[in-house]
Chains A and B, each alone.
Chain A
Amino acid sequence: MRKAQKVTLTVTGLMMLAGLIAYVYQYKEGLIVTNMANSYSWGLYVSGLAFFVGNAAGGLVLSSLIYLFGVKSLKPFAKLGALAAFANVTAAMLSILPDIGQPLRLLNMALHPQFMSPLVWDVAVLNLYAMLSLIYLYILMLPELKGPLARIAIKVDDPEAFSEKWAKRLAPFSLLAAIGIHVITAWIFSTQGAREWWNTAILAPDFVAVAMASGTAVVFMASIFAYGAREEYQPAYRIMALIMAIATFVHIFFMYNDFFIHIWYGNRESLDVLAITLKRYAVTHAFEVLAPLIAVILLLNKKVRQSAFAVVACCTLLVLGVFTHRYLLMPAAFERVPLTLHPLGIQNGEWSAPIASGRYSPHGDTFVTQWDYFPSGIEFAVFLGGVAFVCFLLIVAIRILPIIKEAK
């Protein structure tokens, strides 16, 4: 396994480097190197934020289940959960940082926070969550901090009991925080009346459901890599699979419930917005629904859970499906400009007011009602750098910290 780890570290290390170079280039040139425009002003980076936050949420929920609901079989995975949470929430912040036009001014968020802004809440809770997951991880590791790591261990009489006590105390907060970060992240979108695709009460609950599925999948995958598909862990794996399945079913119910009421009512503008996801991105949408669905149905089968490869494949499928779901946050919100009017004097007319794209187009339209967005190479490089970061951090942490029970 050493070799596989080494290879993975190298690859992810290189990906992180590529991401950094891409970011430096973007910092120099400006966000013009992305494929965004004034009419499509959020893209892969913000999708990435939602994606990583979701993964992060799942990690701590899992861990808090152990202490809040006494699900003892999950105990070996508690630290993995906390680590995954920390890695993903950090990746979330790394994902959104490149999206900031003037990153050197970020201190303004601390100096002049505007408290009505969901973004302020989100930055606050994400940072809190990062600290919380780190503290949580530390507490869980405390009994095993021996040898050279003993230096960072706080001196207590009974580390095991101490760890147990504080983990239990922190559990409700971590559950709240886990749910909280994703609710607040959802509020960034769902409070916006200008974007009908987001402006639904179901978005926050839906985000939580998706987070449960993808967060658990990340921990599941990490667990398989760390411990394998061993029989002794199958009860835990069964619980993980169940959580993922229920979460996925709930998510799909939430999503289609929302679609249904709009389609039934038949408001032209709502239908046009839905058509972006359901018609223009039909194949992508099919994937975002079917991928997790297939994954969780398969994982409900014991035989599947007994194959490490199968588990990793299914979890990857689900995570890809979730990523696609996050990506699809944007098209239906931005591909159609927000200002749509019924022109005077025309029957049944509906018209979108074009927006100046902000880009120089010497042979095409400057004013656009539609922008075909697909992330540019720079955006992919930066985002994948974040993904690589999670893997990198997980592997390094597992190697140097007592995250897993037995060294492999």
Chain B
Amino acid sequence: MKLKRRDVLKLGLASTAAVALDMNFFHLIKKAAASVTMDTEKVVRSTCSPNCTGTCGFNAHVSNGRIDTLIQSADYPEKEYNPRGCLRGLSTMNLIYSKDRLKHPLIRTGPRGSGKFKRATWDEALDYAAKKIKDITQKYGSNAVALTVQVPGTGYVQKGAFVRLAALNKWSIHHGYDQNGDLPMFWPMTFGVQTEELESLEWINSRYTMVFGSNLYQTRLPDAKQLTEMKKNGKLVVFDPDYCSTSAKADEWVALKPDTDAAMGLGLAQVIIAKKLYDKAFLQDFTDFPTLVRKDTGKRLLAEDVESLTAKAANTEIPSERRLYAIHTPQGLAILDPTSLKPTGADLQGEFTVTLVGGRKIRVRTVMTELMDLLAEYTPDKVAKICQVPAEQIERVATEAATLKPLHVIYGASNYQWYHGDLKGRALSLLPVLTGNLGKSSAGISTYAGQYRIRFSLKDWWAPEGGELNWVPYLAFLAGKGINYPKHGIKAMIGGWGNPFDQHNMADILRKRATSGELEFICTFDFQMTTSCQWSDVVFPAASWYENYDLTATILHPYVQLQQPAIDKLFESKTAIWVTRQLAKRLEPGQEKHFYPDLDENAAAEEVTKLLLAKGHPETEGITWEMLKKGPVRLHSDVPGDRQVPFYNQIQHRVPFPPPSYPTPLKETAKFLKSGRIEFYKDEDLFLKLGEQLPVHKETFVDTEYKLYPPSREKYPLHFVTKNSLYRVHSTHANNVWLNELQGNRPKVFLNPEDAVNRGIEDGEMTEIFNHRGKTTASAVLDPGCRKGTVFFEQGWWARYLDNQSYNSLTYPWINPLHEIYFVPGIWSPTSVWNECLVDVRRVQS
């Protein structure tokens, strides 16, 4: 035992003082011994990767093979970004080392959901899973096996391995983006893209930021500071029916009635147009406002149908997904070229007579004229009544939005996760578009839900030669019919990085199918024993993002980052690339060759990463593995400084809309904007049938709850809003011991005080939330910020914290038929709408 001289001196003093009662010197001896044997500390930078869109670099301080502490790396080149990270990232050790950490492969022994398993070896579990999959494939076809990996952005390599396996075996696959309801359908409808957003660094220089239904200060935690910076020279206006943390930080809070944002958007647009504050040139060149709508059919006037244009139209070659539409200029009718955004000088307003081929005359009006006609119903006074907001405020905000540039609209999931969410998004898109606030720094409209984004081509890993995927919208799976729904249904659920038995168990359908046996095989790959694991037949223990290599990207910033192993994989956990390799081998001999069988897991992941970087040009040009090992690297874009500014090419370089949305070929999404421009007028048959060719305001629940179950009108008077919690990322961290201490260790339901009093519910009392589909229980909080008529529940609690109830048993998998007229997975697809739900609450009689 080595003692330093100082220690010896101390020992001497201590003993001579006859400190028989002072145990200090015993401590000293212990410590001296300890410091000699302790491993040297090492620091490893990885990227925190739950599906929160933060994607923050964290330094793991490791000694003795354990993560001692985590702290933000704060190594982004722009100082405004630093530090990125939050309370969840800081406490991830509570998951890595939690009591719920999956240690070994498990095979179910008791009934589904009972959580009774036996420990199995990897071989046993893999053999069992492979056999079940093969049996089901043989009996029902390969597309009866369905994979879900949640959203791609959190792990291009490891998630990609599972997608690769699914493709090789021709399975069905669900896209996490629409499964989660994060897909805002107004984006493909209006802009032809999956979703677009400014990087948060761009928020700082906006002079006017309007936030609709997004609790940024809680959900975009690492980026909230950009809004605080923005407030120094600009104004933050928050539109929210309730007073949440973001409303509290706003310069102005507009407390509009829930689900009336379409009316609000239209009302604001009405003021902007009436006061002639719109950007005429922008509308002429970049939108469908000059296109002509036929009064007889409501369809857009095709050039080929116009007598004077038909010949020219026949001779003009355009891609099959585009159309040649007619416009009216001071020189008369002309063809609108969908392949060019050159100035056309077209008339924005007007009603004209057109002679069709064959001689018949019809009346046509420009889209803008149609819109202005519609907006007569949305004057400030009328909108004030719908939205329950003063007319004066609407007028003033509209004027400010139009005159303080750049304008940025942030549009959140809480707002569009309603049945008519797309109408709201389309209406709100009018704000940046009318005012020309698009395609330039700090301007535009952005949505930040979901880490869906694939930032460069991944097809060399995700789409193997000979592979084929059957994309099935998750909502179709729940409905038991619909787009690409397999002939014999879906019989096997293979899932990773997701917890559908808590998060996607709408109307309790999943549990029912699992209990009845309709689902013949459920297999989950996870690192915590979640509810979904408890309902599985086979559970594979996964490595966490401090135990593997992976590549991540997000929407809040354009940095690509590595996950790196700080510690060895705990217990018997494995990475996806290993598991898929093992499954492949068993499903089809030789199939493992697609998964780098000669390399160990980490080396294989490294190879895949290098492959993706090599093939991901132009975005990944010049980016190397070595660079990524050191820190975040900015991906390339067409914007100066590689900034993330959507539609820059379209506005600055006049490249037709839409820009591509990886991984879909442009053709597939360009067909949403046949004119090559931003389209507010949609003339597909169903839009016309539903009266939604232009965005309009539609009353909530009329097309859903009241229709499905008319007694809901009286019996269930409260809106059930499942908001995001500060303490979780969806259902990740539901079992985090520190974060649960911060929440008083219990799930809560937030009620308007008046609603609570009327039902005899006092603060802190156990309360049941119920409707005819299901129920759950939580502790009541009387929240003065909660609007009368709304009930909040913080989503993500595992069933075991809710007395084994499923809070999603209350929600319903509504499908808006407009979301089925096209299908591009994760881009134009039926998408979950959580907030379209009526409930009531009552005290639980103890």
Contacts and interface: CB of A to CB of B under 8 A. Distances in A.
Interface stretch (B18-26, B184-192, B479-487): B18-26
A362 B744 CA distance: 8
Interface string B1-45: 000000000000000010101110000000000000000000000
Interface in A87-107: 104-107
A364 B745 CA distance: 6
Interface residues of A, number: 13
B745 A105 contact: no
B20 to A, nearest CB: 9
Contacts of A365: 744-745
B21 A364 contact: no
A106 B745 contact: no
B23 A364 contact: no
Interface residues of B, number: 10
Contacts of A106: 21
Contacts, number: 27
A363 B745 contact: yes
A105 B741 contact: no
A117 interface: no
A363 B741 CA distance: 9
A267 interface: no
A385 B123 CA distance: 64
A366 B22 contact: no
B746 interface: yes
Contact of B745 (A107, A108, A111, A362): A362
A363 B21 CA distance: 40
Contacts of A347: none
A353 to B, nearest CB: 15
B22 A363 contact: no
Nearest to B17: A111
A105 B21 contact: yes
A348 interface: no
Interface string A359-396: 00111111100000000000000000000000000000
Contacts of B742: 366-367
Contacts of B741: 366
A356 to B, nearest CB: 8
A394 B689 CA distance: 100
Interface string A107-134: 1100100000000000000000000000
A365 B744 CA distance: 4
Q: Is the interface of B mostly helix, strand, loop or mixed?
A: loop
Contacts of B745: 361-366
A107 B21 contact: yes
B746 A363 contact: yes
A361 B745 CA distance: 8
A111 B19 CA distance: 10
B744 A105 contact: no
A104 B23 contact: yes
B22 A104 contact: yes
Contact of B744 (A104, A108, A111, A366): A366
A126 to B, nearest CB: 19
B746 A105 contact: no
Contacts of B23: 104-105
A363 B19 CA distance: 44
A351 to B, nearest CB: 14
Report which residue of A108, A366, A367 has the largest number of chain B beta carbons within 10 angstroms of its beta carbon. A366
Contacts of A108: 22
Contacts of B17: 111
A107 B22 CA distance: 7
A399 B834 CA distance: 83
A201 B17 CA distance: 41
Nearest to B738: A366
Interface string B740-751: 011011100000
A364 B22 contact: no
B538 to A, nearest CB: 31
Contacts of A366: 741-742, 744-745
Contacts of A111: 17
Interface string A129-166: 00000000000000000000000000000000000000
Interface of B: 17, 19, 21-23, 741-742, 744-746
Given A105-B23, A108-B22, 16 more contacts: A104-B22, A105-B21, A105-B22, A106-B21, A107-B19, A107-B21, A107-B22, A362-B745, A363-B745, A364-B744, A365-B745, A366-B741, A366-B742, A366-B745, A367-B742, A367-B744
Interface of A: 104-108, 111, 361-367
13 contacts: A104-B21, A104-B23, A105-B21, A105-B22, A105-B23, A107-B22, A111-B17, A361-B745, A363-B746, A364-B745, A365-B744, A366-B742, A366-B744
Closest 5 CB pairs of A and B: A366-B741, A365-B744, A107-B21, A104-B21, A363-B745
